[in-house]
C-alpha cells in the first residue's frame, strides 16, 4: 500500500525559478516522478531548455516566462495551468536574491530589491496558489526558506530577514488553508552550488569554510534538493504542513567549532 507514496503521476506542478539551480533540478525531478511540470522563470530561453531536457527523458512539461514579482502574471499562469490540466496540484517557488552588505552600508534601493523578490514574490505566489488550491480543496505549496531563517552571519541581515519571514508566512498559510485540504511547507537548504552562490565558490577559503560547517564537509548539489521537494509534494507528506524541512548537511545540528579530544 506504500509503493506509490512518492508517485506524482497525473499531478500538475508549477515550478517558479525552473530555469536554473534548485528550481531546474526540482522541475526535472517532478517530471521524473510523473508530474506535468510548468517550468516558469524570468529567463524564457532557460526554461525552454529545461523543457527540452524533461521531454528528452520522456517527461511532460511546458515553459513560460514569469516574473515572480508580477502579481497579475503569476495569477494568470496558475489559472491557465489549472484550466488546461484540470487542477493545480503543486506549486514550488525558488527565486531569491542576496545583497551581502553590512547594515550600515545597505542602500534603500538594495533593501527594496531583496524584499521585493524574496518576500513580496513569495507572498504573491503563496496567495495566488492558495486561491486556486483552496477552491479545488487540495494542493501542496512549497516555498524556499534557508538556514538563514535560523542563523546568520555579517552581511546577511536583509536576506535572513526575508527567509525568516517566508517561514512565518508558510506557518500562517498552513493554518489558513488547511481546512480546505491545502498543505504549505518550506524547504531550508544549507549551502548549495547554484548561480546565487557562485561568488562564494570562486573564493577558495570561503568555499572551504562553508563546507566545513556541514557534517559532510561538502556543499550540496542541486539534485539533493529534489528528494525533499518530492516528499513535500507527494502523498508521503499528506499529514505534513506548516513546517520547514532543512536540507543543510547538518549545518544547524553541529556548531562545527571544535572536536573534543578522544572523539
Are 98 and 161 in contact by the 8 Å Cβ rule? The answer is no
Among 159, 207, 210, 239, the active-site one is 159
What is the spatial distance between Cα 92 and Cα 185, in angstroms, rounded to a whole number? 10
Question: Is residue 41 left, alpha or beta, with left meaning phi > 0 and alpha meaning psi from -120 to 50?
Answer: beta
The answer for residues whose C-beta is within 8 angstroms of residue 192's C-beta and 6 or more apart is 21, 22, 219, 220, 221, 222, 224, 225
Helices then strands, each counted (H, E), the chain: 9, 7
| Residue 106 annotated to the active site | no
The answer for residues whose C-beta is within 8 angstroms of residue 71's C-beta and 6 or more apart is 124, 128
Are 55 and 29 in contact by the 8 Å Cβ rule? The answer is no
Please report how the helices 157-177 and 121-136 are oriented relative to each other, as an axis angle in degrees rounded to 10. Answer: 10
Q: Which residues are catalytic?
A: 159
Amino acid at each position: 500500500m506504500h509503493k506509490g507514496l512518492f508517485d506524482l503521476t497525473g499531478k500538475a506542478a508549477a515550478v517558479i525559478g525552473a530555469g536554473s539551480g534548485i528550481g531546474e533540478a526540482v522541475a526535472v525531478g517532478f517530471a521524473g516522478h510523473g508530474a506535468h511540470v510548468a517550468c516558469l522563470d524570468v529567463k524564457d530561453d532557460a526554461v525552454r531548455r529545461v523543457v527540452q531536457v524533461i521531454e528528452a527523458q520522456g517527461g511532460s512539461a511546458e515553459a513560460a516566462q514569469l516574473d515572480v514579482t508580477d502579481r497579475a502574471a503569476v495569477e494568470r499562469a496558475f489559472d491557465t495551468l489549472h484550466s488546461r490540466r484540470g487542477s493545480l496540484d503543486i506549486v514550488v517557488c525558488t527565486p531569491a536574491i542576496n545583497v551581502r552588505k553590512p547594515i550600515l552600508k545597505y542602500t534603500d534601493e538594495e533593501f527594496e530589491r531583496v524584499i521585493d523578490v524574496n518576500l513580496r514574490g513569495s507572498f504573491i505566489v503563496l496567495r495566488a496558489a492558495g486561491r486556486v488550491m483552496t477552491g479545488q480543496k487540495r494542493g501542496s505549496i512549497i516555498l524556499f526558506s534557508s538556514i538563514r531563517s535560523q542563523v546568520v552571519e555579517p552581511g546577511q541581515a536583509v536576506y535572513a530577514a526575508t527567509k525568516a519571514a517566508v517561514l512565518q508566512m508558510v506557518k500562517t498559510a498552513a493554518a489558513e488553508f488547511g481546512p480546505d485540504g491545502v498543505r504549505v511547507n518550506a524547504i531550508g537548504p544549507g549551502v548549495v552550488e547554484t548561480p546565487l552562490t557562485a561568488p562564494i565558490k570562486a573564493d577558495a577559503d570561503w568555499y572551504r569554510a562553508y563546507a566545513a560547517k556541514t557534517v559532510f564537509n561538502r556543499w550540496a548539489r542541486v539534485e539533493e534538493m529534489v528528494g525533499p521537494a518530492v516528499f513535500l509534494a507527494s502523498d508521503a507528506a499528506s499529514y505534513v504542513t506548516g513546517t520547514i524541512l532543512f536540507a543543510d548537511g547538518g549545518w544547524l545540528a553541529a556548531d562545527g567549532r571544535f572536536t573534543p579530544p578522544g572523539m
